[in-house]
Amino acid sequence: MSRQGGDQAGTGLAASSGPTDTRANSAIRAGVLAFFVDQFDIYLPVLVLAPVLGYFQPSDISASSAAILSAVIFASTLVFRPVGAAIFGHLADTTGRKNATLIAVAGFGTVTLLIAALPGQQTIGIWSIVLLIALRSLNGIFLGGEYSAAVPLAMEWSPKRRRGYVGGLILAGSPAAYGTIAALTIVLLQVLPSAGPDSAYAQWGWRIPFVIGAALAGVLFVHYYRSVEESGTKRTTGHRLPIVELFVGRNRRSLMQIFILMSGVWLANNMVSAVLPGLQATVVGLSGTQVSVVAVGNSAVAVVAFIAFGVLSQRIGRRTFYVGYGLVMALLGSSCYAVVMTAEMTFPVRVAMTALVGVLTIGTFGPVASYITERFPAEIRATGFGIGYSLALVLPAFYAFYLDALDSVVPVQFAPVVLIVLAGILVSVGGWLGPETRDVDMGSPPPAPSPITPGR
Residue spans per domain, the chain: 13-230+237-433
| DSSP, residue by residue, 20-55 | HHHHHHHHHHHHHHHHHHHHHHHTHHHHTSGGGGGG
Cα torsion at 326, 40, 393, 46 (round to 10°)? 90
Dihedral of alpha carbons 274, 176, 216, 106, sign: negative
How far apart are alpha carbons 84 and 148 in whole angstroms? 8
| Neighbour count for residue 115 (Cβ, 10 Å) | 23
**DSSP for residue 8:** T
Q: Does pLDDT of 8 surpass 50? A: no
Which of 60-74, 166-180, 335-349, 350-364 comes out lowest in average pLDDT? 60-74
| Neighbour count for residue 250 (Cβ, 10 Å) | 15
Q: What architecture does CATH give domain 13-230+237-433?
A: Up-down Bundle (1.20)
Instruction: Summarize pLDDT for 65-77 with one digit per residue, the tens.
Output: 666 777 777 778 7
Mean pLDDT over 145-171 rounds to 92
What is the pLDDT at residue 204?
Answer: 84
Report the candidate in 365, 332, 386 with the shortest Cα–Cα distance to residue 266. Answer: 365
Q: Does pLDDT of 1 surpass 60? A: no
Q: Cβ neighbours of residue 102 under 8 Å, at least 6 residues apart? A: 221, 224, 225
Q: Find out whether 385 and 90 touch, Cβ atoms under 8 Å.
A: no
